Chains A and B, each alone.
Chain A
Amino acid sequence: MAIKELQSEEQGTSLWQDAWIKLCKNYLALFGLAVLGLLCVVSLLTPWIAPYGYEEQNLILGATSPSVEHWLGTDIFGRDMLTRIMYGGRVSLTVGFIATAVALLIGVVWGAVAGFVGGRTDAVMMRIVDIMYALPFMIFIVLLMVVFGRNILLLFLAIGAVEWLTMARIVRSQVMALRKQEFVEAAHSLGLSQWTIIRRHIIPNTLGPVIVYTTLTIPSVMLLEAFLSFLGLGIQPPQSSWGLLINYGVETMEEYPWLLIFPGIALSLTLFALNFLGDGLRDALDPRTSKD
């Protein structure tokens, strides 16, 4: 009983609380968190709070600059830009989260297995990662989209399959380093089972870098999606994403610059927020950078 109480007390002053306090002092990171939270809420509620229907056109109205009825203006079909950007954001965020989840899953499993098993298995697995690092993935994704058609599911998989490599490296090095730590050895000599050690010591201590890197993967995935959609190789109409909206905006930017500028702001602001949040989390969660 006494030991249990002691343990829970130790968890009370954990890395996590410490990290949270540090994060709260970082206004840019908090701003990032707020933007991300707002974005998630808006995306979830879009069908109910969007000012107009997604397919609502007004061909007589055509493209108009921002006004009281249409806060962000309308496009050449008279479609409300705010509505389009809200629906586009849903797609962009979904791609961001799902592709990152794919990358997270592959990367964590790969890295953890390599780090745990060690020896020859580790050497072979990390060699594969090294080889894949050398491949031109941007080009491969274009290739995949051409060969298999522009399928959104494939987009998730393709982007996820590209972004897991760094995650695998981070998890592996973390697991390897942890295995040699005194407190893990102590746990071993106390007779704790392998699974308990993994659950108690390895997972919580690997979680920090994994969270940080996940936060930084989401913006790079969203950027990749926007890049492909801009080229016309990503999201296909009638679906829409910020990259696609920017693509349309470029075509008519001379006459209607707001069609380019508003989706551009939406994308940049989101990337900005996520990057600041990731940087803030790194400062808060990485014990090595927390000293200065």
Chain B
Amino acid sequence: MLRFALNRLLQAIPVLLIVISATFLLVHSAPGGPFSADKAVPPEVIKALEAQYNLDQPLWQQYVSYLGDVLKGDFGPSFKYSGRTVNELIAAGLPATAELALYAMLVALVIGISAGVIAAMRPNSMQDYVPMSAAMLGICMPSFLLGPLLVLVFGIHLEWLPVSGWGDIPGDKIMPSITLGTGYAAYIARLSRGGMLEVLSQDYIRTARAKGLSERLIIFKHALRGGLIPVVAFLGPAFAGLLGGSFVVETIFQIPGLGRFYVQAAFNRDYTMILGMTIFFATLIILFNLLSDMLAIWLNPKLRQQQAGGNN
């Protein structure tokens, strides 16, 4: 297990290097520099600015020094917010985004797993069709549509919940979390239904039934652990998706998080910000993929044995 983790961590290093290099090259090959955009600025000012941000050096030199800084965990200053570093901006946006992602994941897991398990208990009955049709609806209702519709109904017409903000008014975290979590709840429902159906047809479940165990005990004690492996394996990619979804949800609900910063940076052509945040996101996603893979192996005895066998 430890060896597997180390192995995967080592594999992540070249991936990260590719990400950093590709992003750096992309951003630096952009037509028009970051300062050439809006206003007519005297050439001396541009020169001074370029010198300040090391843009007057040859590309490879900039790359090497940037790589060195990134390895030290320093993403440099922001182009647009003068006097603030990318690190500061990431630190400012991270708490809201992390909290949002956590709540959304909770929404997704609770709703998704219950719906999937309920559906798998009586396949091809109403108990299966209703939650699964709802899941399909959830998949086909993107967050940028669901969010505004929720705002329209619960925020504007019924006036039950605040329409924007994060942590300012009680209850303002409910709608963003549901908006972000619903799509993933739908995927998780389908995955857990599939996983449960497969497990429930196994011999050891038949044995448990033959022993006369109650259906509830069979589901919770025996089937759930194996049936949820596909869900666990999906958590890594889901997390990556949640980060992307936070772009939309944070924009709709005006949450001062990383997603909104990223979209703003994209519009402002704030190159260092985009570069830094892309690398930051990539690192997070790689890390979470690793974690969810490890969790899936830990839950699945067959894979665990394979890993152990590889060690000997």
Which residues of A does B touch, CB under 8 Å?
131, 134-136, 138-140, 142-149, 219, 223, 226-227, 230-233, 243, 246-247, 249-250, 253-254, 257, 260-261, 264, 267-268, 271-272, 275-276
Contacts and interface: CB of A to CB of B under 8 A. Distances in A.
A247 B148 CA distance: 10
A246 B251 CA distance: 14
A134 B244 contact: no
B191 interface: no
A125 B99 CA distance: 38
A271 B144 contact: no
Contacts of A131: 14-15, 18
A231 B263 contact: yes
Closest 10 CB pairs of A and B: A138-B244, A271-B140, A147-B30, A230-B144, A272-B140, A250-B148, A146-B266, A264-B145, A136-B285, A268-B140
A227 B274 contact: no
Given A138-B244, A231-B251, A253-B152, 12 more contacts: A136-B243, A138-B247, A139-B282, A142-B266, A146-B266, A148-B31, A230-B248, A264-B149, A271-B140, A272-B140, A275-B139, A276-B136
Interface of B: 12, 14-15, 18-19, 23, 26-27, 29-31, 136-137, 139-142, 144-145, 148-149, 151-152, 156, 240-241, 243-244, 247-248, 251-252, 262-263, 266-267, 269, 274, 277-278, 281-282, 285-286, 289
B103 to A, nearest CB: 20
B19 A142 contact: no
Given A134-B15, A146-B274, A260-B149, A139 B144 contact: no
B248 A231 contact: yes
A136 B243 CA distance: 9
Contacts of B141: 268
Contacts, number: 111
- Chain B interface SS verdict (over half): helix
17 contacts: A131-B14, A134-B289, A136-B244, A136-B282, A138-B240, A138-B243, A138-B247, A139-B262, A139-B277, A140-B278, A143-B278, A146-B266, A146-B274, A227-B248, A231-B247, A243-B144, A250-B148
Contacts of A267: 142, 145
Nearest to A271: B140
Contacts of A271: 139-140, 142
Contact of B278 (A134, A139, A149, A272): A139
Given A147-B30, A230-B248, A246-B144, A136 B240 contact: yes
A135 B140 CA distance: 24
Given A131-B15, A131-B18, A138-B244, A143 B140 contact: no
Contacts of B26: 143-144, 147
